[in-house]
Each structure stands twice: as structure tokens, then as C-alpha cells.
Amino acid sequence: MTFARLAAYEQPLKWFALTLGLCSTISIVQNWQLAAMLFGLPFCLIWIFCAWLHGERQLKYINIVFSGLYVYGIARFFWLVS
């Protein structure tokens, strides 16, 4: 699939990202750390994809850094629980 064909899904993905962002915020307020990271990771991945479509390098790299931090946090959570 080319980026031009994937661009048709950009707007629905942005709405889904908004929902994930709201869920992540609620999780933070409720002090549900794992849920906040699990909602935050796909949020960042969607914005990496959207930035890739438009060539927004700064937005892409910022979200790559945050995605790495979310992966680290999720892995650390499961490592500490086991």
C-alpha cells in the first residue's frame, strides 16, 4: 500500500487518536499508569503515521521518542510485576 492510498484513512485515524488521547488523560487522572501508557502508545503511532504523510519531520521524531518511552514504560511495568 502506498502513502497516497493510506492517506484516505488519515481523518478517521485522527478521530481515533483523539479518543485515545482522552482515554489516556482520564487514565492519568485516575492514576492508572499502565492504561495511560497503553492508550498513549497507539496515539503516538498514529501521529507518526500522519506526520509521515505530510513530511512533518519534527512531529514525527517527537512522537518516535515518546513511543520509545511508552514501550520502555510498558516493558518496565511488566518486568516489575513478574
The per-residue pLDDT for range 24-60, each reduced to its tens digit, is 999 999 999 999 999 999 999 999 888 888 888 888 8
**Domain boundaries in the chain?**
37-82
Q: What is the pLDDT of residues 3-20, one digit of tens each?
A: 677 788 889 999 999 999
pTM of the predicted structure, to 2 decimals = 0.85
Q: Are 47 and 63 in contact (CB under 8 A)?
A: yes
Whole-angstrom distance, CA of residue 33 vs CA of residue 15 = 23
Whole-angstrom distance, CA of residue 75 vs CA of residue 82 = 11
Whole-angstrom distance, CA of residue 14 vs CA of residue 8 = 11
Q: Are 50 and 20 in contact (CB under 8 A)?
A: no
Whole-angstrom distance, CA of residue 74 vs CA of residue 21 = 17
